[in-house]
Structure 1
Amino acid sequence: MNDPLRIGLIGLDTSHVIAFTELLNDPDHAHHVPGARIVAGFPGGSPDFHLSASRLEGYTNDLRDRFAVQIMDSPAAVADAVDLVFIESCDGRVHLDLFKQTVASGKPTFIDKPLAVTTNDAREIMRLANDAKVAVMSASSLRYYQDLLEARATFDRDNPIVGCDAFGPMSIEPTQPGLFWYGIHTVDIVMSVFGTGCAHVRTMKNDDFDVVTAVWDDGRVATIRGTRTGNGQFGVTLHGKSSSCYVDLTAVSRPGYATMLESILSALPAGKSDVPQDQMIQVVQLIEAANKSRVHSGRIEQLE
């Protein structure tokens, strides 16, 4: 039997580090994902981001004390000690800098959402990765929810998906521009369904809602509705030429984290990504354009 792959976490300020470690390291977990273990971590953290600074110590202690994860003093030290790197910092502003510190190790890397909070940073991450021949993957776990995958499979050439309406909570955090904090989830759902080719977007907003209309260059249209009223549900309606299908992404039988980890472990060790590079970049482009529209009274913004 092959030894499990060793994974190192960089940025221990998000609940994802606990969720991933429970799924990978606990063989008795109901949704255990075999084949890898979290063995090392670098805390990181962003002092100016409350949700980072306030959670960092607790998650770091939990990983060390409950799971015997070795806490190291630099991202580079973690990368050198493992087979796969997971950049987990909840602050998308620091992902490029963290990747710069680990890319020389040559280790395949998962960068948790968002890949970056500017298109320039996203492109630079991919440039560095390509130059170093390092596989990089980034995604929201919602694109891996089993019910969504099964619903997409019901459409075919005779009834292709031509529309997509996604919704979910969309809280705003001052340090994470506009929709990057929680809008990333619904945007990634849409991108997983439509793929690249988004031409322009328009965002209408008030205190409680954001509604983004995104038009693809082949005429397909998606809407992304975010709420700040306390409604925590996620969902999406897929529209085909002859039928539509609603998918509830809140009541699921298997966590999307588990399916995403399986995809990561099947792709990255082989030097591949389950999500195409241009799609990862366009998620960032779409949000950046939507952010411009929301601060310019719903002006139509072309993707750059």
Structure 2
Amino acid sequence: MIGLDTSHAVAFTKLLNNPHESYHVPGGEVVVAFAGGSPNFELSMSRVKGFTEQLCTRFHVKIVDSIEQVAAESDAILLESVDGAVHHEQLRAIVAYQKPIFIDKPFSLSSQVASDMIRLAEDYQTPLMSTSALRYAEGLTGILQQVDKGKIIGADCFGPMEMQATQPGFFWYGIHTVEMLFAILGRGAQSVMTLSSEGHDAITASWTDGRIGTIRGNRHGNSQFGAIIHFEHGSEFVAIHAQQKPYYASLLEQIIAFFQDGVSRVPLQETHEIIRLIEAANESLRTGRIVQL
């Protein structure tokens, strides 16, 4: 958990996947942190010590003994736990401080817990935001700004689909491609069907207006993210990694804007629908049936 002083304008650091990369995004300074970690999640516990040392030695961040102390000593909060199962408990501990909170994906691991978390934020009037950085990749946002091809009538997204036992089914890596799909089609998904083999997954979702979106997940080999967006007057290929600017930098810009005005760049009801779609895709994977959202 990371606390920020938003009166400063310095570089942020990507703290989850590569603590050696710095992206200059004006708007705040990391000043205090709590070293958490989930004891039953090896990928979490194996990295906590290294990240903590980086924060202390390279960035001179103060490490405290509780997430409540982080909330008390900061203007805004990055809740960066990679384990979606602990986000509800952590939110309960800090929501009463009424500081803007960004929660790393996955927001939660069930739609019921997501509802409870959103209700908590509303009860305490605490600004809350959660999303995958893939939503803000310039290769995607640039194409979404096009106006010469008419309305978007569908989309096919693809990406790696690594699984983690503590993050059920598609919650671990599937959330990236689901976020991309919602960035393209918006809210309104009504049903989901999942097909799966040893190395591949295919999720087909229908929207209430008749549009269809698909997600293809690769569990071995190909780790490229991308999409094809279908417009009324043609289709466009989205090359997520084609742009020089890292999509995490674009996400940080959105987070800073959220910290400044308290308005989530992704509506919480859309975040809830994303969690429900992944939950339904997992159910379809188990049962082989179409699942209604």
TM-score, normalising length: structure 1: 0.90
Aligned to 2:102: 110
User: Match of 1:301?
Assistant: 291
- Equivalent runs, 1:1-304 vs 2, <5 Å: 3-4=7-8, 14-15=16-17, 18=19, 23=22, 31-155=23-147, 159-297=150-288, 299-303=289-293
Moved over 6 A (4+): 5-9
Tell me which amino acid in the other structure corresponds to 1:3.
S
Give distance in 1, aligned partners of 2:31 and 2:194. 42
* Structure 2, unaligned runs of 5 or more: 1-5
Question: Could you tell me how far 1:208 is from its partner in structure 2?
Answer: 0.3
Over aligned residue pairs, what C-alpha RMSD do you find?
Answer: 2.1
1:33 Cα deviation after fit:
0.5
SS of equivalent to 1:67 = coil
Contact 1:162 1:241 in 2 (8 A): yes
CA distance in 1, matches of 2:12, 2:88: 17
Residue 54 to residue 13, structure 1, CA distance change in 2 (3 Å):
farther
**Cα offset, 1:192, TM superposition:** 1.0
Deviations 1:193-225 (A, max 9, x none): 111110000000011011000000100100001
For the residues of structure 2 that align with 1:275 and 1:139, how far apart are their CA atoms? 7
The one-letter amino acid paired with 2:155 is C
Contact 2:11–2:24 under 8 Å retained in 1? no
Q: Which runs of 5+ in 1 are unaligned?
A: 24-30
Counterparts of 1:266 and 1:250 in 2: how far apart (Å)?
A: 24
Moved more, 243-252 or 195-204: 243-252
Q: CA deviation at 1:252?
A: 2.5
Contact (CA 8 Å) 1:15, 1:59: kept in 2 or not?
Answer: no
How many percent identity over aligned positions? 42
**CA–CA distance in structure 2, aligned partners of residues 249 and 13 of structure 1:** 21
Instruction: Specify the SS of the correspondent of 1:138.
Output: strand
Would the aligned equivalents of 2:109 and 2:167 in 1 still touch at CA under 8 Å? Answer: yes
C-alpha distance in 2 between matches for 1:167 and 1:78:
37
Structure 1 residue 110: deviation in Å? Answer: 0.3
1:161-200 Cα offsets, whole Å, 9 max, x none, are 1111000000010100100000000000001111111000
Counterpart-to-counterpart distance in 2, 1:195 and 1:153? 14
User: TM-score, structure 2 length as denominator?
Assistant: 0.94
Q: 1:224 to 1:6 in 2, by over 3 A?
A: same
Structure 2 CA distance for partners of 1:133 and 1:7, relative to 1, 3 Å: farther
Contact 1:6–1:83 under 8 Å retained in 2 = no
Asked whether the 8 Å contact 2:88–2:108 carries over to 1, the reply is: yes
Look up the equivalent residue of 1:261 and give its one-letter code.
L
